[in-house]
Amino acid sequence: MKILGIETSCDETSAALVQNGKTLSNIISSQTIHKYFGGVVPEIASRIHLQIISKIVEDALNEANTNIKEIDGIAVTTQPGLIGSLLVGTNFAKGLSLRYSKPLIPVDHIEGHIYSGFLEKYDVKFPFITLVVSGGHTILFLVNSFSDYKIIGATRDDAAGEAFDKIGKLLGLEYPAGAKIDNLAKKGNPYKYDFPRGLINSNDFDFSFSGLKTSFRYFIERNFGNYSKIDDVVLCDLCASVQEAIVDVLVVKSIKALEHYCIQSLVIAGGVSANSRLRTKIQKLAQEKGFNVIIPKIQYCMDNAAMIALLGELKLLAEGKERFFRYDITANPTPIRSRKK
Ligand code: KG4
Ligand code: ZN
């Protein structure tokens, strides 16, 4: 089965071809213009999607050496995300589906992340815990089957990626700052400064990162005034220490969830799962405790259409083609809470 995936929920325009869980192409165009505004400007994001979506889809088909008539279905992110951005992908996919009489499979972006660890492995074994950790979300899911999962914990304020981005701004780093902090941290001492680890000892699986952000801001103001007074060595130590605070909470809560629910496998997904310290720490601790950790390849951590196509393929296999010739699907900005059929 060959599926075309389309993803436009935020500031990445992406199209991919996936066949039997294998990626044939995965074109991602990231909108860099938002760095001038310190965050994603929804109106600009949707306009750029509109300008390049057809070229991105064409490139994905060409790279996969595939004619659109050969595909078995079109999977598209319909929720959650920026409404203007979602509308571009959803309507483009609808148009293609009508024109070429192909099944149209609506995919939830977060569900896409949940299964992204299985791209190219294709051996989804239930149950598992997934930590979806990105610029917009920090959520722990207990996943029992495709149609049965629930949220067991989530951030009460900022997402972890948002904390990376906002702290990066305080350090004079361009948006998105997560990968930049990760790189600078490699040259720093993670134990140099002790920043708060919100809710690390709470008896639930929730997260909180806004206290860390505020504490970091006061620390910078008190000791340096602003980032222009911070030298390179201190910058690396600050990045390493603040990254350690974020990673510690993510690791502790994920392991706690595995133990509490007696689950053997953990999937970590979303942009922040690209973080090198998170990947190393969670893998080491999980190995010590006998858990199995699945983390997507770096190119599947960020927003991408391959994960959308993969889930589209799994849905089509599980539910059959007939129910996917419906054109009343609409873009929906709100996040899912849980699913049980
Ligand atoms: O999943 P994603 O591409 O988009 C959202 O759905 O948000 O995630 C983007 C987020 C940004 O906040 C970015 O700073 C963060 O992921 N990120 C990282 C790293 N690479 C991306 N955070 C920490 N370390 C990284 N290496
Ligand atoms: Zn995402």
CB 49 within 8 A of CB 83: no
Please provide the size of the chain in residues: 341
CB 313 within 8 A of CB 305: no
pLDDT per residue rounded down to tens, the chain (341 residues): 999 999 999 889 999 999 999 999 999 998 989 888 877 899 999 999 999 999 999 999 999 999 999 999 999 999 999 999 999 999 999 999 999 999 999 999 999 999 898 887 777 789 999 999 998 899 999 999 877 889 999 999 999 999 999 999 999 999 899 999 999 999 999 999 999 998 999 999 999 999 999 999 999 999 998 888 889 999 999 999 999 999 999 999 999 999 999 999 999 999 999 999 999 999 999 999 999 999 999 989 899 999 999 999 999 998 899 899 988 888 988 876 655 54
Q: How far apart are CA 303 and CA 308, in angstroms?
A: 9
- Which residue has a Cα nearest atom 16 of ligand 1? 271
Q: Which ligand minimizes its atom distance to the CA of 239?
A: 1
- DSSP assignment of 91-136: HHHHHHHHHHT--EEEEEHHHHHHHGGGTTT----S-EEEEEESSS
Q: Measured in angstroms, how far is the CA atom of residue 7 from the centroid of ligand 2?
A: 10
Q: Which ligand minimizes its atom distance to the CA of 278?
A: 1
pLDDT of residue 244: 98
Q: Measured in angstroms, how far is the CA atom of residue 43 from the centroid of ligand 2?
A: 18
pLDDT of residue 337: 62
Atom index in ligand 1 nearest the CA of residue 302 equals 3
User: Within a 13 Å sphere around the CA of 36, how many CA atoms are in the beta-carbon half?
Assistant: 4
Q: How far apart are CA 173 and CA 306, in angstroms?
A: 29
Q: Which ligand minimizes its atom distance to the CA of 275?
A: 1
List CB contacts of 109: < 8 A, sequence separation 6 or more. 7, 9, 77, 79, 80, 81, 303, 308
Q: How far apart are CA 285 and CA 283, in angstroms?
A: 6
The CB of 176 under 6 Å from ligand 1? The reply is: yes
pLDDT of residue 191: 97
pLDDT of residue 120: 75
* pTM reported for the whole predicted model: 0.89
Q: How far apart are CA 125 and CA 18, in angstroms?
A: 20
The CB of 182 under 6 Å from ligand 1? The reply is: yes
Q: Measured in angstroms, how far is the CA atom of residue 136 from the centroid of ligand 2?
A: 7
Write out the two tokens for 316: 């089509």
Q: How far apart are CA 5 and CA 300, in angstroms?
A: 13
- Which residue has a Cα nearest atom 10 of ligand 1? 135
The CB of 165 under 6 Å from ligand 1? The reply is: yes
pLDDT of residue 108: 93
